[in-house]
Amino acid sequence: MIGLGWFLASLAALIALAYHRAALIIWTISFALLLILATKFNGLTAGVTLGWIAFLAVFLPLNISMWRRRFISQPLFNFYRKVMPKMSRTEREAITAGTVTWEADLFRGNPDWQKLLSFPRPKLTEEEQAFIDGPVETLCRMINDWDITHNRADLPPAMWEFLKKEGFFGLIIPKQYGGKQFSAFAHSQILVKISGRSITVSSTVAVPNSLGPAELLLHYGTEEQKEYYLPRLARGEEMPCFALTSPEAGSDAGAMSDHGIVCYEEQQGKRVLGIRLNWDKRYITLAPVATVIGLAFKLYDPDHLLGDKEDIGITCALIPRNTPGVTIGRRHFPLNTPFQNGPIQGKNVFIPMDWIIGGAAQAGKGWRMLMECLAAGRAITLPASTVGGAKVLSYATGAYSRIRKQFNIPIGRFEGIEEPLARIGAYTYLMDAARTLAAGAVDMGEKPSVASAIVKYHVTELGRTIACDGMDIHGGKGICLGPKNYIGRGYESSPIAITVEGANILTRNMIIFGQGAIRCHPYVLAELEAAQLTDNKAALAAFDKAVIRHMAFGISNVIRSLVLGLTGSYIVHAPKGKLKRYFQQATRFASAFALITDVSMLSLGSNLKRKESISARLGDILSYLYLLSSTLKQYHDQGENNDDLPVVHFISQYCLFNIQERFDEIIKNFPNRWMAALLRLFIFPLGKHFSKPKDRLNHKIAGLLMAPTETRQRIAAGAFLSPVKENVLADIQDALIKTIAAEPIEKLIKTAKQDEAVHGYTLFEQAQSALERKIITVEQFDIFMQAEEARKKVIAVDDFLTEDLARNILSESYQSLYAQSDGTNG
């Protein structure tokens, strides 16, 4: 019995050490103490003797670096170099670009939730709030999206001038150059408000403040380039675009054929060192109106005028539109959302070397520059633009579901409508939380490459989902385009966000986990860098340091996954409150994710790069952990309002269920079936038990959106909701309030009709009859009629004469889409 007791005590101690990720020296000392005590009280039994043999053969050599490196690290190092996946130069630069934030804590399997909750909540300064309340509000009142998208295919001239005058194109430019120098969160909030009114306008504002000349100049430009261009960009005197995508090189930007050759040319009697460029680009936003072109191209130096290398690499340069050989093509027409977009060509264009962004010293560094800037910009532009549309959609659709009636009841009372309506509200909250956390990280000085990919992918995908849900709920109201249709253009344009700044298929299958596994894992990047060192002694020393810690990390993940699975994660220390169980369950799955990541990389090696479906699902797990984290933080930062709990419960259950299912899909498709069986044992020792959000949550969330609740207002916060004539949302809100006020009166009328106390074929006739018979008062009749008038105004759709539609489609403005650009705003 004593021997069994010692065995169980030893096992418990070892499990505790592994669970708490004890260092190797702590393991060694603890194991030695256990053996000493066991020897003293039990003597040298067979079990104790085996323990001493294990200590002398394993633990002691592990602590002697010379022995460890020779017998453990060296063989592992040789094997690692053989199986290490080969990466192109662009892949290496993309992977190492940017920084990691909270997603790295999740990747390590033991997130510190207090650390997350202590991150400062993003806030606007007084100046930023004044800009949103002033110029942004004025801009939103100016917008007539039907006129922009259907009649003009462009912004009105007065709006272009307003954007330039008020500094909308200089939001990220420092004040010393005449810009606003706003925070990333302010930039995001501005786009949220505008995009709810018009994607065309928000795209026009977003691009000069996103990945492009201004941002590249800020980080990498020479002082001369900054002094010349940044003030002109801030004032709107220069309109920028950035040309990256080619007909043959979309997601695979490294395959671009656009190239430049270093050479000399005579200019104004002087021999100038420069670049002879040829390129063909397309899908370039603002190209038709651009005055300065940011260009990415491959640079070659066959005559070695710059140095020994011939293939210099991807380079970025700034080229004025009027440079000889530059051609701006005719406009593209992206899904009835006619922001300025088109192709650019260059034939035998000569530029001086100092037109390279950052000068000749930055030649060949363009891809890293782009990836580092994209790491931040991808967290702002598309997430904010998508969230802006989602906020309007949730605000409007909830009201419409109360206003629109079928079978004599509001359509929102049907469970078939409650389900998509709940998704709209919950996903909007989730999307907003994710983009807020990512924007906050940027303002903390980070360039969150992995987090920005997560947020861009999931926010735009969720946006597409709820765009379809909104269309399903609105029915005919949604499909008939016209000035009264407030969701049609958003529905049409949803694939645009899916496609740009890294196509979502590529982002999910290759970037999120492919980059995350290397950047976020505590030891993989160190091992990878060690394997690339040319000094074998230094390489082995660096690899030894990382791999021993990695081995302990792996053992810990096995134990933590099993223990947390068996205990239901109740032993996890987590913030107290009504959401404590979600923090605990997220920790459990983070530990399991750390385990399955190590197993996948060890088992599949370089093949993991080609196993895109497994990589995508691993990325999904990391993503849903990040999305769940951002939701829990958003709820905390907003004061933990109990009214919002149904929404937060829905999102948390949605994320946990999807995490569980992705684990299950990986295990079912894991190539090594023995390993798959072990993974299932350690990750789901008691089986799966997470489910989708239940119907009662759908009912509660739908109810919150179908009334003027604080939760509905918080979800829509930041959108343009001002009660002005130009805003259809004001009409919807007015109709909602009047409909709710009239519902008791309508119930009286219908009850009287059932009792045959009133007569009439229509509800209006029945209301008149109820008034005549004094079943309702004059005041009640007026309330009822006002509600009916407001309701009919909201559910109305536009109609046109055939010749009017034809005239618009063939109008001079629309023909400008296909006409050769002449440098104007058309």
Secondary structure letter of residue 169 according to DSSP: G
CA distances from 52 to 39, 64, 265, 517 (A): 10, 17, 78, 38
Contact 715, 432 (CB under 8 A): yes
Separation between Cα atoms, residue 133 and residue 129, nearest integer Å: 6
Amino acid sitting at position 142 = M
Could you give the CA distance from residue 206 to residue 385 in angstroms, rounded to a whole number?
A: 9
CA distance 173 to 177: 7
Count of CB atoms situated within 10 Å of the CB of 822 = 9
**Which segments of 64-179 does DSSP mark as H helices, in order?**
65-68, 74-83, 89-96, 102-107, 113-118, 126-131, 137-142, 145-146, 157-165
Quick one: CA torsion of 737, 742, 744, 745, rounded to 10 degrees? Answer: 170
For 755-769, letters b (16+ CB in 10 Å) and e give: eeebeeeebeebbbb
369 vs 797: CA distance, rounded Å:
48
Identify which of 454, 386, 418 has the alpha carbon closest to the alpha carbon of residue 196: 386
DSSP-assigned beta bridge partners for residue 89? none
How far is CA 66 from each of CA 69, 541, 548, rounded to the nearest angstrom? Answer: 5, 10, 13
Annotated active-site residue 266? The verdict is no
* Residue 361: both structure tokens together: 């010293």
Q: Are 167 and 180 in contact (CB under 8 A)?
A: yes
Calculate the CA dihedral of residues 211, 213, 215, 217 and round it to 10 degrees: 150
CA distance 707 to 410: 12
Give the bridge partners for 276, in sequence order.
Answer: 261, 350
Contact 242, 294 (CB under 8 A): yes
Residue 640, SS3?
A: coil
Tokens 């791999």 label which residue?
547
Check 103, 215, 372, 501 and give the catalytic one.
501
Distance CA 52, CA 38 (A): 10
The tokens 């969720």 sit on which residue? 462
Token code pair at residue 39: 């020897």
Asked whether 210 and 377 are in contact (CB, 8 A), the reply is: yes
The token duo for 243 is: 């040309």
CB 160 within 8 A of CB 180: no
CA distance 45 to 67: 29
- CB distance 434 to 455 below 8 Å: yes
CA distance 656 to 651: 9
Nearest to 571, CA basis, from 15, 97, 134: 15
| C-alpha to C-alpha distance for 95 and 741, rounded to whole angstroms | 57
User: Strands 405-406 and 259-267: what pairing?
Assistant: unpaired
Residues with catalytic annotation? 501
